[in-house]
Amino acid sequence: MNTLVIFVAAYVAVTITIGLIAARRVRNAKDYLVAGRGLPLYMNAATVFATWFGAETVLSVSATFAKDGLGGIAGDPFGASACLVLAAIFFARVFYRLDLMTIGDFYKKRYGKGVEVLTSLAIAASYLGWTSAQMTALGLVIHVLSGGALALNTAIVLGAAVVLVYTVFGGMWSVAFTDLFQTVVILIGLTLVAFLVGGQAGGVDKVLAQAAAEGKFSFFPASSDAKAWWAMAGAFFTFAFGSIPQQDVFQRMTSARNEDTAVRGTLIGASVYFLFAFVPVFIAYAALVTNPEMSKLFASEDGREIQRILPDLVLGRMPLWAQVMFFGALLSAILSTASGALLAPTATFAENVIRPFYPQMTDRTFLLLLRVTLVTFTVAALLFALNSTSTMYEMVQNAYKVTLVGAFVPLVAGVYWRPATTQGALASSIGGLLVWLAAEALAGDGLIPPQLIGLAASVLFMVVGSLAPQVVARHGDAAAVLRARTHRD
């Protein structure tokens, strides 16, 4: 164990060093937020993959499959991958041509300051769940590696401090360089572990045969189970649509060196993510084949317990080299996602919630504001993580519900529906959020998931609010967005 801890500590030190060296490239806010729009294709694709391939993919999605099969993971990787494909095809070029710093800037340009602040608050708040999931995972790794000597909550605090150190200084440049390094570690590390675990379980054929025999490959519910169908739709669309109006997706597309790279990098990252997400799924199920007693973790009232399947297997049954490769890959997945998840809400809140009230702010002062905001958000996410017993998969899904009902429809309408107005966007965002919250309170266990009710309300309020007599004055530049959408090189 001591040798493993030394290797892991050395890996973390290397990651922090890479991040701090990359921080030397930061000269202004544009460097900090979108890496100066200078990422080549391979780095752009790596940031998309590494940011999406997080702790929930390795620990929680894999464990959820082991428990519920493909039907339990409709949101991630299926919905999550669909999000990236849709974002690349329908939004990447528009965002790039508009030369924006944050996704909140789109709402400002299209609808004006009021919609900008409202949607940016919703987007920033949505990151609490996602960021907390990464902190929980990092704490879990530290807790496991310490042999229980460090309490889980103490380990979560320590992990949050590690991510904060290099992200606060280097912003997107640090995220990009560490993502590239971490992508290589993830791909190599988990592939080697998968071969080893599969061999211990009796081979790939045996693992797949047992999974098929237990119905794990059944994706769709029984035709008569309407509630299960609605639950699957809720999970899929929460990820597929709710993830699109997110700053981290926007940031990766607009950090590319040109718009073609923005599209291709996102599509490549999405493809690699979808395919490789099934590697930890295979490892987790092979772990249950090897040691069926691990299924007892499914009965725990603390949802976080099932996420111990892979760490417990690796520490209990793997040689040292495999332990090093697994925990190196796991830490890579966590750190790459956590850094992006901290930077994204920081950018949105500082640029689109605070800065509009201080338009004369200098670039140097804004850089300081970004770093102070990042520290503040880290503390908020840390408190959320310390008080949650949900699985990381649930935490991430809950995060995207906010943007699904409060930001998705104004984004789509702003790009593709010319009659959309400021009044319609305000009605859509506020109405969607209120209806969703009411549905959660009054019919949380009903047939239709509350977030889908909120989404339908958001669409209705957008149409009615835009076509009704305009009480709220129109703001923004709809023509500029239309030109960006229809522009041809």
Model pLDDT for residues 189-226, shown as the tens digit of each residue: 888 888 888 888 888 899 899 989 988 888 888 777 88
Distance CA 167, CA 136 (A): 18
Position 4 scores a pLDDT of 81
Distance of CA 223 to the CA centre of its chain: 31
Q: What is the rounded average pLDDT of the residues 351-380?
A: 86
Distance CA 155, CA 247 (A): 28
Rounded to two decimals, the pTM is 0.85
User: What confidence tier does 489 reach under pLDDT thresholds 50, 70, 90?
Assistant: very low
Does residue 87 have a pLDDT over 90? yes
User: What confidence tier does 156 reach under pLDDT thresholds 50, 70, 90?
Assistant: confident
Q: What is the rounded average pLDDT of the residues 417-443?
A: 93
Convert the pLDDT of each residue in 7-62 to its tens digit.
878 887 887 788 778 777 777 777 777 777 788 999 889 888 877 887 778 877 88
| Cβ atoms within 10 Å of 178's Cβ, excluding its own | 30
Q: What is the rounded average pLDDT of the residues 443-450?
A: 82
**Looking at per-residue confidence, does 413 or 247 come out higher?**
413
Convert the pLDDT of each residue in 64-75 to its tens digit.
888 888 888 888
Q: Please say whether the beta carbons of 141 and 334 come within 8 A.
A: yes
Q: What is the rounded average pLDDT of the residues 333-346?
A: 79
Position 437 scores a pLDDT of 92
Position 79 scores a pLDDT of 92
Does residue 247 have a pLDDT over 60? yes
**Looking at per-residue confidence, does 436 or 476 come out higher?**
436
pLDDT > 70 in the chain, percent = 93
Position 99 scores a pLDDT of 84
Position 245 scores a pLDDT of 92
Across all residues in the chain, what is the average pLDDT? 84
Q: What is the rounded average pLDDT of the residues 128-151?
A: 79
Distance CA 35, CA 172 (A): 5
Position 166 scores a pLDDT of 66
Assign 3-class secondary structure to the chain. CHHHHHHHHHHHHHHHHHHHHHHHHCCCHHHHHHHHHCECHHHHHHHHHHHHCCHHHHHHHHHHHHHHCHHHHHHHHHHHHHHHHHHHHHCHHHHHHHCCCCHHHHHHHHHCHHHHHHHHHHHHHHHHHHHHHHHHHHHHHHHHHCCCCCCHHHHHHHHHHHHHHHHHHHHHHHHHHHHHHHHHHHHHHHHHHHHHHHHHCCCHHHHHHHHHHCCCCCCCCCCCCHHHHHHHHHHHHHHHHHCCCCHHHHHHHHCECCHHHHHHHHHHHHHHHHHHCHHHHHHHHHHHHHCHHHHHHHHCCCHHHHHHHHHHHHHHHCCHHHHHHHHHHHHHHHHHHHHHHHHHHHHHHHHHHHHHHCCCCCHHHHHHHHHHHHHHHHHHHHHHHHCCCCCHHHHHHHHHHHHHHHCHHHHHHHHHCCCCCHHHHHHHHHHHHHHHHHHHHHHCCCCCCHHHHHHHHHHHHHHHHHHCCCCCCCCCCHHHHHHHHHCCC
Convert the pLDDT of each residue in 275-304 to its tens digit.
999 998 898 888 888 877 766 666 555 555
Angle between helices 152-200 and 320-349 (to 10 degrees): 130
Distance of CA 352 to the CA centre of its chain: 20
At 390, list the tokens.
Answer: 């949900």
